[in-house]
Amino acid sequence: MNKKELLEYLSIKPHSIKKIGSATIITSSDDHKYVVKRNNRKADSFDYLQTRNFNHFPRVYSNLQDEVELTDYIEESETPKEQKLQDLVYLTSILHTKTTFYKDVDDDYIKKIYEDLLEKQTNIYQYYSDLQNMIELEVYMSPANYLLIRNISLIYMALNQSRKYIEEWYRIIRNNHKVRYAYIHGNLEESHLLEGNDLYLISWDHSRVDLPIYDLEIFYRKSFLDIGLREILEIYESKYPFKKEEYYLLLALLLLPEKIDITLKEYSRVKKVTNLILYIDKTLSFLENNSKKANHHTQHQ
């Protein structure tokens, strides 16, 4: 059903309509507020989550087949950014705890992950190696290129550390064919947590059954300037402790630098390079300050 058909089917009579970004806020004649947006979900997340006793999302009135997604509007309370990020990490640990299960995998599955990671790492290394060679031929470097060359060793250091953890992960997992899965949100960021009379996760368009560490990787890359990796892990593992191989795989992923788009305008490239260097520096600093944990992480059963 489209928006009009869905509202008629549910006997919702709009009193006022307000557009906010890609969503529409509808206030009904009885003063109840709803959010309507295009339905991009590929799985029936909410029914599954309810069967696992995870109800931290606004009430959903539409079906997976509907053109639009209709949910309750959540009145947010004022929450400091730091607290909101901490709450998001904790809620993620609850999501993974309630939906986790073990899956038997074969050698081919493990080998494919391993080979894909190595290929990705090699690709990134070659990208920055080629970019370095190109920049060093310039007579006058742009600010972005100069900043990148000054810090290129950090990029290579991160790649080398990533390779180390890929190999550690593979060494352990190749002898253990049980892999822990959970239902992941797939797009964690501060704006996707609403804090009202409870905690609510929204924007489930990328949700799926997958490795739990992917949620943390996405979240840290988006939020590293506002919350440290050590704090994230302490909050998350208080509810959902990592197995050793999961910890190594997470570190391997986090240490893979993102590629800088060289077609961006200079100001945007400077910002991108600056963020990349800050990201790598913070992540490597975490490893340096927590080397004992990184190298001898206790295996949780």
- Mean pLDDT, residues 3-19 taken together: 89
**Alpha carbons 279 and 224: distance in angstroms, whole number:** 7
**Is 135's pLDDT higher than 80?**
yes
- Output the pLDDT for position 297: 53
- What pLDDT, on a 0 to 100 scale, did the predictor assign at position 63? 87
Q: Which of 72, 102, 122 is the last residue of a domain?
A: 72
List the domain range (segments joined by +) for residue 65: 3-72
Residue 47 forms part of a structural domain? yes
175 and 266 inside one domain: yes
212 shares its domain with 278: yes
Mean pLDDT of the chain: 92
Answer yes or no: is 262 within a domain: yes
Q: Are residues 108 and 61 in the same domain?
A: no
Q: Does residue 133 lie in a domain region?
A: yes
Half-sphere exposure of 124 (CA within 13 A, CB side): 22
Q: Of 72, 107, 127, which marks where a domain is finished?
A: 72
Tokens of 126: 């070659």
Give the count of domains, the chain: 2
pLDDT tens-digit profile of 69-125?
999 999 988 899 999 999 999 999 999 999 999 999 998 999 999 999 999 999 999
pTM of the model: 0.91
Domain end (from 72, 100, 128): 72
Residue 52 lies in a domain: yes
Do 115 and 16 share a structural domain? no
pLDDT at 301 over 50: no
Q: Are residues 19 and 152 in the same domain?
A: no
Give dist(CA 36, CA 109) in Å, integer. Answer: 39
Q: Cα dist. 67→60, 70, 140, 203 in Å?
A: 14, 10, 53, 15
Whether the per-residue pLDDT at 298 is higher than 50: the answer is no
The pLDDT tens digits for 189-198 are 999 999 989 9
Both 97 and 229 in one domain: the answer is yes
Q: What percent of the chain has pLDDT over 90?
A: 75
Same domain, 148 and 235: yes
Considering the domain architecture, whether residues 47 and 103 belong to the same structural domain is answered as no
- pLDDT (0 to 100) of residue 3: 87
85 and 7 assigned to the same domain: no
62 or 155, which is more confident: 155
> For residues 118 and 73, what is the distance between their CA atoms, to the nearest angstrom?
44
State residue 174's pLDDT score. 87
pLDDT band per the 50, 70, 90 thresholds, residue 175: confident
Domain of 248, CATH number, reads: 3.90.1200.10
- Asked if residue 55 is part of any domain, the answer here is yes
The CA radius of gyration of the chain, in Å to the nearest whole number, is: 22
In a domain, 300, yes or no: no
Mean pLDDT along residues 8-22: 88
**Claim to verify: residue 167 and residue 270 sit in the same structural domain:** yes
In the Cβ-directed half-sphere of 56, how many Cα atoms lie within 13 Å?
21
pLDDT band per the 50, 70, 90 thresholds, residue 299: very low
Same domain, 68 and 93: no
Is 228 found in the same domain as 134? yes
| Greater model confidence, 300 or 156 | 156
| 244 pLDDT above the threshold of 90 | yes
